[in-house]
Every structure is written in structure tokens, then in C-alpha cells.
């Protein structure tokens, strides 16, 4: 009556539709980004356009290319070792993208760079304070004794 095939399914319907759905989604995403870049290039200053273009270029290199490679390899072969290596590359490249994007923004925006340098200075002071507090007590006392000797040497008799 329902014409349902009773043989075991090798792949669920969601899995069969995943590849075309991902390809379609990234195609639309790419088109939206291309139109956005074109619109920003006409409306915004060149500096903002350059920053956004660099971010999207790194996104394409570190995210899109490995992901499309994974899709192609899954479509052409089901070698689990190759799929594992590509998945590892996607993980590494996504982490690299996170690091690179920060430095692109820092290179292009002086106000962000200034804020970042202030925060790094605060962080380095915090590390120095923590180092002083975590030194062994005998080293801490030795440092105090050495400081007193140096200060006494500076005072003329």
C-alpha cells in the first residue's frame, strides 16, 4: 500500500541530503559575501574594505577550502583514514583562522592595537606579581636581604 522498501537502509535520508544542503548553503553564503563586499567597496572607506576582504580571504583559505575538500573526498571515496586527516586539518585550520583574524584587525586598526597593548601590559604586570608571590620563601628572603645591602651601599657615610 505505501510502497515502502523493507531492505535495510545504508544511509539515512538526513545523511543523504546533508552534502547537497551544505553545498547549497555555502554557495548562497559565498554569493551574499560577494555582494556585501561589492556594496561595502562602494560605500565604505578603502580601509574597511581591505580589512573585510582580508578576513574573508583568510576565511576562504582556512575554512572553505578544507571543508569543500572534505565534501569532495566524501563524495568520491569513503576512505576513513583520509577523512580523518582532512577532519584534523579542518580543526587545525579553524584554530589558525581564529589566531590570524585577531592579528588582521590589530594590523588594520590603531585603536584596537592601542587597547591590545594596554591589556598586554596589564597581563605582564599580573604575571610578575604572581611570580613574586609564588617564589620559594627562602628566595624571597634572600631577595629582601640583597635589596637592603644595595640600598645601604647607596647611602653615604
Q: Are residues 79 and 131 in the same domain?
A: no
pLDDT at position 155: 53
- Is residue 86 a part of any domain in this protein? yes
- pTM of the prediction? 0.43
Q: Are residues 33 and 91 in the same domain?
A: yes
Q: Are residues 36 and 85 in the same domain?
A: yes
| DSSP H helices in the chain | 13-43, 46-59, 65-76, 80-108, 110-134, 137-154
- Is residue 135 a part of any domain in this protein? yes
- Is residue 7 a part of any domain in this protein? no
Comparing CA positions, the residue from 34, 93, 99, 90 lying closest to residue 67 is 90
Residue 157 has pLDDT above 50, yes or no: no
Tens of pLDDT, residues 71-106: 888 888 878 888 888 888 888 888 888 888 888 878
Q: Are residues 102 and 28 in the same domain?
A: yes
Structural domain span for residue 55:
19-108
Tens of pLDDT, residues 31-64: 877 777 777 666 656 777 777 788 888 888 888 8
pLDDT at position 136: 53
- Is residue 100 a part of any domain in this protein? yes
CA atoms of 13 and 16, how far apart (whole Å):
5
CA atoms of 43 and 24, how far apart (whole Å):
29
Q: Are residues 119 and 142 in the same domain?
A: yes
Amino acid at each position: 500500500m505505501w510502497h515502502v522498501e523493507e531492505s535495510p537502509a545504508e544511509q539515512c535520508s538526513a545523511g543523504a541530503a546533508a552534502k547537497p544542503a551544505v553545498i547549497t548553503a555555502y554557495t548562497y553564503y559565498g554569493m551574499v559575501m560577494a555582494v556585501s563586499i561589492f556594496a561595502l567597496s562602494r560605500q565604505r572607506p578603502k580601509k574597511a574594505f581591505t580589512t573585510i576582504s582580508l578576513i574573508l580571504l583568510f576565511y576562504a583559505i582556512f575554512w572553505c577550502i578544507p571543508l569543500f575538500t572534505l565534501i569532495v573526498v566524501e563524495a568520491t571515496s569513503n576512505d576513513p583514514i583520509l577523512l580523518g586527516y582532512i577532519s584534523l586539518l579542518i580543526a587545525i585550520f579553524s584554530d589558525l583562522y581564529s589566531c590570524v583574524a585577531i592579528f588582521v584587525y590589530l594590523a588594520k586598526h590603531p585603536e584596537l592595537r592601542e587597547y591590545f597593548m594596554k591589556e598586554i601590559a596589564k597581563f605582564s604586570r599580573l604575571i610578575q606579581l604572581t611570580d613574586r608571590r609564588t617564589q620559594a620563601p627562602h628566595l624571597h628572603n634572600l631577595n629582601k636581604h640583597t635589596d637592603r645591602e644595595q640600598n645601604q651601599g647607596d647611602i653615604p657615610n
